[in-house]
Chains A and B, each alone.
Chain A
């Protein structure tokens, strides 16, 4: 099934069917989620209204890590099987991941000013997230630096695999070092330290962001497939 879909042309046809559906789901969930964020959830007893930034910040942070994991997985797949679709997906994911990481850092800063009293601290979690942003930028630069796209894909795959080291550092930085950033409060499903009235909008926003990511990814992958088709046509004309 996977290998059948791995054909770029077949995948392009699938994208054309799926993409409008995912975008509609994303917009609907976003509207519902925003309603719950602003009207359906209470302000925090300590942080007040600023807690609402969490509904954007936390999903963005999760997706910044998830997207990098997808890139790394596609990179391994690309190096082992040398499949074009894996290259296309990782190439398309890099700018989206960079945007999510940037959004994480920006919303974190906006939240940090009233809560911690500063826009930025050189905390292990914040620093490792910043390193992730720089790695994303490095991937984007490599993707555009080489004239030969297959070479660029291979090099960016190697860089992405090296960058995997940063993922566990980001995840467990709050446990390994004494940081200003609070430890995980949502992943502990046995005893979540967040109220259900806040958990619901957070999950709605997370699903909304997920579908938004999928739809943007599909659009970008389709764009990449079309661009490569154009390049093949141009090359054939030259020959």
Chain B
């Protein structure tokens, strides 16, 4: 079963590599959308203040747009049902998809972050802090977006519902990722600033897996 799970992850990564355009379009969208913010302000000092918020908003929207592709194809060609029929648990399917998405989309995105360093004229310390932030928070983000696409997989129209349903669950993430430093500085816990993000992941993981399992069962009824 352990081997089977790795096979499943391998399958997801292979599919991702075949659909390389998804990674490309995600990266392009991320860079262009970040640039739009820079173009929209006259004074670059404003961007320097809000760079974290900008990066996170762009990231959330781009990841939600991409996550749709992860499940729609599997649902439409019947692979999702087939995987369950083969005996893979709903949790393992969801985890494998999340791992593939994190490895193939989130990790390459971290290499794009130095561009932000140039565009937003932030310091090296801020850049490192941002990268660690993204590295620790993106697993939760990936799980939530996979869940959101599960919610909307059977909706033929009005995909905007996906955003409306799931956006409230990004609120704590946004709050803690964009204000971790200031928040923990005020409590004199600066060295523990990233632990909250790991904490959020350990709350998100079981909740998303449980909800994902229930939705997948409902989808295949």
Contact = CB atoms under 8 A, between A and B. Distances in A.
A146 B155 contact: yes
Contacts of A141: 161, 164-165
Contacts, number: 48
Interface of A is mostly: helix
Contacts of A127: 171, 175
A138 B165 contact: yes
Contacts of B128: none
A154 B215 CA distance: 8
Contact of A142 (B165, B167, B169, B175): B165
A155 B151 contact: yes
B92 to A, nearest CB: 19
A2 to B, nearest CB: 24
Nearest to B144: A162
Contact of B211 (A145, A158, A169): A158
Interface stretch (A54-62, A86-94, A129-137, A189-197): A129-137
A159 interface: yes
Contact of B158 (A135, A145, A155): A145
B138 to A, nearest CB: 19
Contacts of A131: 168, 171
B171 A79 contact: no
A91 to B, nearest CB: 16
Nearest to B166: A138
Interface of B: 151, 154-155, 158, 161, 164-169, 171-172, 175, 203, 207, 211, 214-215, 218
B218 A138 contact: no
Which are the 10 A-B pairs with shortest beta-carbon distances? Answer: A134-B168, A138-B165, A154-B218, A131-B168, A158-B214, A158-B211, A135-B168, A145-B161, A131-B171, A162-B211
Nearest to A161: B211
Contacts of A151: 154, 218
Nearest to B171: A131
Interface in A118-156: 127, 131, 134-135, 137-138, 141-142, 145-146, 151, 154-155
A173 B32 CA distance: 37
Given A134-B164, A142-B165, A158-B215, 9 more contacts: A137-B164, A138-B168, A145-B155, A145-B158, A158-B211, A159-B151, A159-B211, A163-B168, A165-B207
A79 B214 CA distance: 9
Contact of A155 (B167, B175, B203, B215): B215
Interface in A161-206: 161-163, 165-166, 169
Contacts of B171: 127, 131
A222 B155 CA distance: 28
B206 to A, nearest CB: 11
Given A145-B161, A154-B218, A162-B211, A134 B167 contact: yes
A138 B164 contact: yes
A162 B155 contact: no
> Which of A155, A159, A165 gathers the greatest number of chain B CB atoms within 10 Å?
A155
B207 A162 contact: yes
Contacts of B175: 127
A159 B155 contact: no
B161 A142 contact: yes
Nearest to A124: B175
Given A141-B161, A142-B161, A146-B154, A155 B168 contact: no
A166 B172 CA distance: 10
A165 B200 CA distance: 12
Contacts of B155: 145-146
Given A151-B154, A154-B218, A162 B169 contact: yes
Nearest to B208: A162
Nearest to B160: A141
A151 B221 CA distance: 9
17 contacts: A131-B171, A134-B164, A134-B167, A134-B168, A135-B168, A138-B165, A138-B168, A141-B165, A145-B161, A146-B155, A155-B218, A158-B214, A159-B165, A159-B211, A161-B211, A162-B207, A169-B172
